[in-house]
Structures are given as structure tokens and as C-alpha cells.
Amino acid sequence: MKLIVWLWNPWKEYEKTKHNIWFLFLDYLVENNTFSDFKKDTKFKAEISTWIFKWEKTILLKPITYMNLSWDSIIKIINFYKINLEDIIVIYDDMSMDFWKIRFRAKWSAWWHNGIKSIISHLKDEFNRIKIWIWYNDNYQVSDWVLSKFTNDELNQLDSEIFENVKNILSEKI
């Protein structure tokens, strides 16, 4: 069994913020794939969907905690389903790469990302990651920047080709 985790802040005021970039991708997946609707599960502190991919069940997890507390939801799922850490992919935003660049990493540092830091502190550094660069304007504090909304110009630069690249990375790594 595989687990794909999207790091986000699940409240309405965080919609279309840079920290929640992956939900634009998730919308794309929903339109172009078949997996079950996300259902809220308070036991796991998450919204959960399942996807049969390459004949294997994959759990899609959206923790319904603040991003920096996502580890709690992830640990509950791992323990319940007995998922190996190498079968986990955590998807999140990153400020240290070229514009809209996407990167797969296994066992990589958290850099500035507090959500990843908190997961590493509870799970070690044994899980895989996919990250997309969200750019950084150093006129802002990091927290103000990642919680700011994308401009229309930025969103226009995010096209289906980028999402197809991510989908291909997932296909290779799952």
C-alpha cells in the first residue's frame, strides 16, 4: 500500500495561497483520473480518498490540521495500515528552486519548510517528497509570503504541462 500526502492549511482563508499550491494540482487530478471522493475521517484527522494505481491501493491523504501538525495525521494512517516509510510521498511547496520547477526527492532536508521539519522530527527522514517552487519575494517575511494568494499572472503561468509533469513523476515513483 502507498500513501500520498498533500501538505496544506485546510481553511477557506488559505485557498489559493502559495502554501496550498498542491490543491490546484489535486483539482487537476480529480478532473483527469478516477479515485474516490475525499471523505472526512476524524479518527485520522484527515480527508481521505483511495486510488487503485498499478494494481495497488494508494491512500490519498489531506490532513485537516495546520500544516505544521500534519505529522499527527500521517502517523495515525501509517500505524493503522502498516505503511512503510519508503512507500510515502509527501507533496509540498518549496522556495529554493527555479520558477514552477518540480522536484522529486528521497530523504532530503526540510530547508525552511516547518511542515516537513515537523514530519521529520516524528518519522525520521525516510519518506519521499515532491515539491514545487513557489518563488520568494524577500520583501516579505517567509510566513507572510507563503500564506499570500497567487496573483492572476502567477496562476496563468501554472499550466497543465506542469501538472502533467507531476503526474508523470507520481506514476514513476509509486
Which residues are marked as active site? 19
Residue where the block lists cell 521529520: 120
Distance CA 91, CA 163 (A): 13
CB within 8 Å of 71: residues ≥ 6 apart: 118, 119, 121, 122, 123
Which alpha helices (DSSP H) does the chain contain, by range?
A: 22-32, 70-81, 114-123, 142-146, 152-157, 160-173
Type of residue at 128: N
Q: How far is CA 24 from CA 86, 100, 125, 132, 159, in A?
A: 25, 13, 26, 12, 10
| 8-state DSSP, 140 | S
Query: 70-81 and 114-123 helices cross at what angle (nearest 10)?
Result: 40
